[in-house]
Amino acid sequence: MHADAVMTAGLHALLAERGGFYLTTRERQPQGQAHARVIVADYDAGIALARQLAQDRHGPGPRILIVTQLDKEWQVRTAMDSGVHGYLLQGCSADELHKAVQQLSQGMRYLAEAVTRCVADSLSRETLTGRETDVLQLLAKGCCNKSIARELGIGVGTVKTHVKGLMSKLDATARTHAVVVAAQRGLIGGPALRAERQQKAPTLQ
């Protein structure tokens, strides 16, 4: 289910070389997902599928492994909170890919080392509230307090309180600094899910 055909071919080749799995793709076997033990997907497809399985599943379903370039805190946390079981970065080795698929097939989880550090770091930080996130998104667009208040239907004083709160949580010294820190952590500018997109990828059984 990987959107990139080259990635699909590469993942399939690397896993086939190691052996130990029955491999197929959605293109070759459209119904293979129903019998798969592990599904390798890109970020958007993996999250969409994990959410779908959480709603539809009536028993043990396939384990979802995401292989992606996205390594921001927000992106990783979103994937794990959606029910994804494994998260690898595209620069991983063939050994790590094989290990991840093997562990998922045995009912375990797998996170790349860099991803594990990212998640661990995020757990030590205070989480922004929904309203603070709304204010942050508008700050990133260059909106002033009055504009933010008008856009969100709240008072200017309330906006100032939210700005103060998010700057404290982000350990930022200025509004622009808060936006920079948030972007580095992946708290703004995250990719939208495209659940309906048709994709191809190795489905492992």
Per-residue model confidence as pLDDT tens digits over 21-54: 777 666 565 565 667 889 999 999 999 989 888 7
Please tell me the pTM assigned to this model.
Answer: 0.61
Per-residue model confidence as pLDDT tens digits over 80-115: 888 999 999 998 888 999 899 999 999 999 999 878
CA angle 100, 18, 13 (to 5 degrees): 90
Structure tokens at 68: 């992606």
Residues 14 and 84 in one domain: yes
Looking at residue 30, its pLDDT comes to 58
The Cα 141–Cα 144 span in angstroms is 9
- CATH number, domain of 143, equals 1.10.10.10
Cα atoms found within 13 Å of the Cα of residue 85, Cβ hemisphere only: 24
Using CA atoms, how far residue 143 sits from 151, 168, 170, 184, in Å, is: 10, 19, 19, 20
Q: Total domain count for the chain?
A: 2
The Cα 93–Cα 96 span in angstroms is 5
Residues 61 and 87 in one domain: yes
Residues 143 and 79 in one domain: no
**DSSP type of residue 2:** B
Residues 114 and 136 in one domain: no
pLDDT tier for residue 64 given thresholds of 50, 70 and 90: very high
Residues 102 and 198 in one domain: yes
- CATH number, domain of 26, equals 3.40.50.2300
Residues 14 and 79 in one domain: yes
Which residues of the chain form beta strands (DSSP E)? 23-25, 38-41, 63-68, 86-89, 110-111, 202-204
Residues 135 and 118 in one domain: no
Residues 90 and 60 in one domain: yes
Residues 42 and 103 in one domain: yes
Per-residue pLDDT for 167 more than 70?
yes
- Length, in residues, of the chain: 205
- Provide DSSP, 170-186: TT-SSHHHHHHHHHHHT
Query: Domain residues for 196?
Result: 5-123+191-204
Residues 18 and 92 in one domain: yes
Mean pLDDT of 126-154: 90
Residues 31 and 110 in one domain: yes
Looking at residue 200, its pLDDT comes to 36
CA angle 66, 72, 78 (to 5 degrees): 60
Structural Rg of the chain based on CA atoms: 20
Looking at residue 190, its pLDDT comes to 46
Residues 20 and 36 in one domain: yes
